[in-house]
Amino acid sequence: MNLSFLSMRVKSFRCATSGIIQATKTELNLRIHFAAVTAVTAAGFILGLSQQEWIAILLLFALVISLELINTSFEKLCDVIDPEYNNPVKKIKDIAAGAVLWSTVIAVIAGIIIFAPKLLIIFK
């Protein structure tokens, strides 16, 4: 492994990190998702999730945040290619937003399945 290979990898990592930061700065939905990740993580530590429950939660964090980043990327790509308001762009943006909505609904259902029994024991 030579130095230029390593510096290229570091550069890629920096670019990808900058992409996440830029998207988080401009997209309210992404900030809401990151706030949810923080709140669920705190609740997970407080309520003592099992190893399997943490893995499920972490995979859902990865899915929802990744889809929101891809959705943001699609929106920006559409705005560059065709800034005018039109039906094809509406369909593309709506479908990409639908992917985020679908994963979020599934994540919320999984969250209820994992957290509800623990909360019921506490508030019984």
The site that binds ligand ATP (CB under 6 A) totals a number of residues, namely 11
3-state secondary structure 9-47: HHHHHHHHHHHHHHHHHHCHHHHHHHHHHHHHHHHHHHH
Q: Using N-to-C axis directions, what is the helix angle for 51-81 and 28-47, rounded to 10°?
A: 180
Measure Cα distances from 22 to 12, 33, 63, 105, 109 in Å: 15, 15, 19, 25, 29
Q: Is 71 in the site for ligand ATP (CB under 6 A)?
A: yes
Residue 53 annotated as catalytic: no
Q: How wide is the angle at C-alpha 97 spanned by C-alphas 105 and 77, nearest 5°?
A: 150
Q: How far is the CB of 65 from ligand ATP (least distance, A)?
A: 13
Q: How far is the CB of 80 from ligand ATP (least distance, A)?
A: 11
Among 68, 69, 96, 100, the one annotated catalytic? 68
Q: Which of residues 23-42 bind ligand ATP (CB under 6 A)?
A: 27, 29
Q: How far is the CB of 7 from ligand ATP (least distance, A)?
A: 34
- Taking CB atoms, the residue at the shortest distance from ligand ATP is 90
Using CB under 6 A, list all residues that contact ligand ATP: 27, 29, 71, 75, 85-86, 89-90, 93-94, 97
